[in-house]
Amino acid sequence: MSPKPSKRPENPRFSCGPCSKHPGWSVEYLQGAALGRNHRSQVAHAKFQLALEKSREILRLPDDYLIGLVPASDTGAMEMAMWTMLGARGVDVLAWEAFSADWVTDIVEQLKLTDVRAMVAPYGELPDLNQVDFKRDVVFAWNGTTSGVRVPNADWIAADRAGLTICDATSAIFAQELDWSKLDVITYSWQKVLGGEAAHGMLILSPRAVQRLKSYTPPWPVPKIFRLTHDGVFLKEIFEGSPINTPSMLCLEDYLDALSWVESIGGLDAMMARANANAAVVDAWVERTDWVEHLAVDPATRSNTSVCLKAVDPDVLSLPAEARAAFPRAIASLLDAEDVAKDIASYRTAPPGLRLWAGGTVESSDLELLMPWLDWGFAQAKQAIARAA
């Protein structure tokens, strides 16, 4: 029986979205927000431009790539890309978890494209990347937030591709090395790796993506918040600090604060190092713990941000399906009640398990303190099973 640990993580927030604020965050950092100002005023416009410039600089984007703020978080950015650019050629769409499966649904059932190859893998695995045809457009998530499985690199993407690569990078960007030369459309949101506020998305376009927008008009009506062209003219102002609709100036100030924090710790390299160190804490614990394993089968494809775990204890696996599914939720509830870990149950449509955020805004010391609590929670939940038997 694991003893109850005496020390708790200083920050119990291990949610995979919205994610933890950066260490030292305070609402005081939002005092400079342009509240009550028109978002097209000079002061607000300058803040949007600063956010885009800082994002570009930290991410080390190529000079000819555009970056803009769009509505509706990463989902909105992905929908915008698909609704405005797909249909010009066949599409290969990859799915191995909940959100990438949504892109399959939208492409097939909403856009009703017919020349679609959906390459779907079960949770814990990747589709066969060697089967992707880069004469076609390719839609994929770099990091499967709900499965803890990521693509290992961009080597599988053809440099001489004819189609566009549209990449949902929201739980990978600022934490994993992305090869911009292999990506044409990249989307992310503020509330993932940076711990910003929700409801705003970011859209990055390569010159090839811009050319698609200038040369192709989709056959379906495009809602206003998805439009990147008007009367056939590319709306470049979106990528110069003039959003499509009214964004939150408070959320923008919070994003600027997050970017400043990233700069203060050493930029992109420091963020990736922090995520790697955090994931290593969990990996080491899994290695020495016999009741748990990673959901991701291949170590080369395991996420360093959304770390997904499954219980493999024989007594737990022998439970009826409903009780087996309830077991990790019981651990999560116990740790929540102890104010040790918030929101660590697996995603609602993912296999039953635990999911820990290990991105750069989390401290390794907090993850170190969490590990014995997971063992304690497991022992408590298993003891409850024994009492009920």
Q: What is the dihedral of CA 355, 361, 362, 363, to 10 degrees?
A: 160
**Predicted confidence (pLDDT) per residue in 121-179, tens digit:** 999 999 999 999 999 999 999 999 999 999 999 999 999 999 999 999 999 999 999 99
CATH 3.90.1150.10 fits 267-388, yes or no: yes
Q: What is the mean pLDDT of residues 83-97?
A: 98
* pLDDT score, position 385: 85
Q: Which helix (H) or strand (E) holds 279?
A: helix 268-288
Q: What are the φ/ψ torsions at residue 336 (nearest 5 degrees)?
A: -65, -45
Question: What is the overall mean pLDDT for the chain?
Answer: 97
Is a pLDDT exceeding 90 seen at residue 9? yes
List, for residues 334-343, the tens digit of each pLDDT value. Answer: 999 999 999 9
Domain extent listing, the chain: 27-264, 267-388
What are the backbone angles phi and psi of residue 86, rounded to the nearest 5°?
A: -80, 155
pLDDT of residue 251: 98
Q: What is the distance between the alpha carbons of residues 148 and 350, in angstroms, rounded to a whole number?
A: 10
pLDDT given for residue 164 in this prediction: 99
Architecture of the structural domain at 27-264: 3-Layer(aba) Sandwich (3.40)
**What gap in Å lies between CA 58 and CA 179, rounded to an integer?**
14
Q: Report, as an integer, the average pLDDT of 91-109.
A: 97
Neighbour tally for 235: CB within 10 Å: 15
Q: What is the DSSP string of 112-172?
A: --SSEEEEE--TT----GGG--TTSEEEEESEETTTTEE-S-STTS-TT-SS-EEEE-TTT
The reported pLDDT for the residue numbered 237 is 97
pLDDT of 1 over the 70 cut? no
For residues 38 and 1, what is the distance between their CA atoms, to the nearest angstrom? 60
Distance CA(64)–CA(107), nearest Å, equals 28
Say if strands 66-71 and 137-141 run parallel, antiparallel, or are unpaired: unpaired
- Same-fold call for 27-264 versus 267-388: no
In the prediction, which pLDDT does 389 show?
A: 63
Q: How confident is the model at residue 386 (pLDDT cuts 50, 70, 90)?
A: confident
**C-alpha to C-alpha distance for 295 and 149, rounded to whole angstroms:** 8
Tell me how crowded residue 246 is: count the other CB atoms within 10 A of its CB: 10
% of the chain at pLDDT higher than 90: 97
pLDDT tens digit sequence for 249-289: 999 999 999 999 999 999 999 999 999 999 999 999 999 99
State the pTM of this model: 0.97
pLDDT at 201 over 70: yes
Q: What is the helix, strand, coil percentage profile of the chain, to 5?
A: 40, 15, 45
Contacts of 216 (CB under 8 A, 6+ apart): 85, 87, 88
Rounded to an integer, what distance in angstroms lies between the CA atom of residue 353 and that of residue 363?
22
What contacts 279, CB < 8 A, 6 or more positions away?
A: 302, 303, 304, 305, 307, 358
Q: Are 135 and 89 in contact, with CB atoms under 8 Å apart? A: yes
Q: Is the pLDDT of residue 388 over 80?
A: no
pLDDT of residue 6: 96
Taking residue 230's Cβ as centre, other Cβ atoms within 10 Å add up to 8
